[in-house]
Amino acid sequence: MLNRVVSAIFASALLAGGSAPALAESPGPLIEIRIGSTRPPPRVIEVRSSRPSPGFVWVEGAWDWQGDWVWLPGHWEHAERNVYWVRPRYTPEYGQWRYAPGHWSNQRVHEGDDYRRWRDERRKEKRNGRGHGNGKHK
**C-beta of residue 96 within 8 angstroms of C-beta of residue 36:** yes
Return phi, psi of residue 82, to 5°.
Answer: 65, 15
E strands, the chain, are: 31-32, 34-36, 56-59, 62-65, 69-72, 75-78, 85-86, 89-93, 96-100, 103-104, 109-110
Residue 30: predicted pLDDT: 84
**Gap between the Cα atoms of 127 and 121, Å rounded:** 10
Query: Which pLDDT band, with edges at 50, 70 and 90, does 89 fall under?
Result: very high
User: Which tens digit of pLDDT belongs to each residue from 30-71?
Assistant: 899 999 999 999 999 999 999 999 999 999 999 999 999 999
Report pTM.
0.70
User: pLDDT at residue 83 above 60?
Assistant: yes
- Would you say residue 76 has pLDDT above 50? yes
Q: Which of 2-11, 20-29, 96-105, 122-131 has the highest mean pLDDT?
A: 96-105
Q: Which parts of the chain fold into alpha helices (H)?
A: 2-16, 20-25, 113-127
pLDDT at 113: 87
